[in-house]
Structure 1
């Protein structure tokens, strides 16, 4: 089996980079369809229009409806065709990125991703996670290539809510452990082959960076300032985790996240918050060394990631709901099958309840 690593065409990160976006994207098209939330358009439109001033390019801003669903993708694709745009720019967070990538794929245009938060590893990937209009996980749309460019203005990320940065760290937390499971099992990754040593090394660097700079980066965003620690965590959340998960593989943590999407109490949580708890559950499934589990729990407590079901919003445990989440996580089309041993819904159910008890124990220390 081939070893394959894939990545975005160009990755740009730094303070004030959005002011130079026209210079970076001018070779990709001359009529840009820009997808962002209404608030995102208000926050970035002036800078973008100033950057394009004097350039022979047209811009069309379109507000995102809030969910990366087939209906929203179809709506935006029709708008793009009506405007004869030949490139897509997605500005904002994970669901906007996934929507922009899907719209560009179906329209056959280049796509540029501009994160205003560092909340997921979605920006760099050749993947869109599709949900129903109600926000329940539906499917992965595997794309033929990664975004043409990812541009991160760290000064904007520094001003975003701190919970979003922490959520990104939760998403990134799973990268190394899922990559390790896939290397052990010999799983085929989303890149279409076995993991490369380079991708696995990036996954481990991602974890090491979180432990080293996670708390310092959180404190930077609390004060809405950019520091070296924040720059490092933005890179870990966005690039290291993005390349790491895609070219090394996903396993139990993300499958368990998808299971929790069926529990209504969890709908208000961010992706990375659920993934962080899924990481703890994966370590229980693996019967990982106590020292490793303790290191992960200590990190989660330090930055404020969930380690109990109550942290996920589940105040009263309904064991039928937990079993349903466990069953969904073991769907044959999800990534639980990448674990290096067979995992049943009963295994996941037991690991979820055990992880919850362990988290409660650490909270009492």
Structure 2
């Protein structure tokens, strides 16, 4: 067969293992022991006070563990500080417990130290726990760059009872992030664009992305009710899986497009800084559907889902009460930078088209 007849390389990526259920944290010690006996636990400062003793109890089977309090941001300085702690302790396993920035720091430290990584999310606010990606910030809080890692975490351990204790807003934000997964993966499929690690996605990526969307529609409202009751019921279990695992596999293996590019643009405005990543991605998804000229019935289904769980459906609900032409242009210009993921869409993209889509989402 000639080279010209070969189909392009396709691929998918996954965490090494994924375990989820109420009380899963109690297994942490035995799971660490699969990879080593000297674990460095990087613990989110937001849960540090409450989780030091439970973590030590969960790891009592190990020879020793060292707990380090995460400083707050995933910066090069924080990564280097914790890398030195791993060297001094001679860690053979790095565990991250907490929210996205603490988890990204743990992933980066484990990669630099060439040791196993275990991720234990305490919220289901995004699909970051499963990914081979760490977002690196500058000391002033702005994004410096994305660190793409050669492999996903060796284990993602999700204690649904722990996540049920977190404020429900985090779960809703995770649904907003997961909402984009199918819309963006489908855009990449239609445009024959590469996924997040530079190859075409395999069909499994779209199957997972579609399952993610269907789960949101079927279980989202009930999961929110269970979370408000701090009860890890069946619906909450399904949504945790969708927010973390299905969305994680779907975005890495299927690809990303306009929803996250518009999120980047929304981040340019000070008014949006108090809103969570997934809340901005949800509005980006609605704008993406307008750009795609998606069927109105599907747009309304997505919008009604957002309204049912409390995700923003307008610029005003995202804090942009005065959406001036200058502000819309700023969002669009950032979303449409050369080489941006928005060009993975299967339709022609211009800043003017992004502005027109946002104009339809003012109020």
Give the match for residue 238 of structure 1: 244
In the alignment, which of 108, 111, 119 is matched to residue 113 of structure 1? Answer: 119
Give the match for residue 3 of structure 2: none
Give the match for residue 193 of structure 1: 199
Is contact 1:142–1:190 with CA below 8 Å preserved after alignment?
Answer: no
Is contact 1:170–1:275 with CA below 8 Å preserved after alignment?
Answer: yes
CA pair 134-317 structure 1, distance change in 2 beyond 3 A: farther
How many angstroms does 1:257 deviate by? 0.9
The answer to whether 1:16 aligns with 2:34 is no
In the alignment, which of 333, 339, 345 is matched to residue 345 of structure 2? Answer: 339
SS in 1 for 2:19: strand
How many angstroms does 1:333 deviate by? 4.0
Please identify runs of 4+ aligned residues in structure 1 that moved more than 6 A: none
Is contact 2:29–2:61 with CA below 8 Å preserved after alignment?
Answer: no
CA pair 181-26 structure 1, distance change in 2 beyond 3 A: same
Give the match for residue 35 of structure 1: 42
Rounded Cα–Cα distance in structure 2 between residues aligned with 1:308 and 1:70: 35
SS in 1 for 2:130: coil
In the alignment, which of 149, 159, 163 is matched to residue 165 of structure 2? Answer: 159
Is contact 1:167–1:305 with CA below 8 Å preserved after alignment?
Answer: yes
Supply the RMSD in Å over aligned alpha carbons.
Answer: 1.4
In the alignment, which of 60, 63, 68 is matched to residue 62 of structure 1? Answer: 68
For residues 25-174 of structure 1, the aligned pairs below 5 Å read 25-56=32-63, 58-174=64-180
Is contact 1:137–1:258 with CA below 8 Å preserved after alignment?
Answer: no
Unaligned runs of 5+ in 1: 361-365
CA pair 319-73 structure 1, distance change in 2 beyond 3 A: farther
Is contact 2:257–2:343 with CA below 8 Å preserved after alignment?
Answer: yes
Unaligned runs of 5+ in 2: 1-7
Is contact 1:176–1:200 with CA below 8 Å preserved after alignment?
Answer: yes
Give the match for residue 279 of structure 2: 273
Rounded Cα–Cα distance in structure 1 between residues aligned with 2:271 and 2:279: 13
CA pair 67-322 structure 1, distance change in 2 beyond 3 A: farther
Is contact 1:284–1:355 with CA below 8 Å preserved after alignment?
Answer: no
Deviations 1:264-291 (A, max 9, x none): 1111111100100000010011011110
Q: Which moved more, 1:233-242 or 1:18-27?
A: 18-27
CA pair 350-75 structure 1, distance change in 2 beyond 3 A: farther
Rounded Cα–Cα distance in structure 1 between residues aligned with 2:62 and 2:102: 26
CA pair 203-62 structure 1, distance change in 2 beyond 3 A: same
SS in 2 for 1:138: strand
Is contact 1:263–1:321 with CA below 8 Å preserved after alignment?
Answer: yes
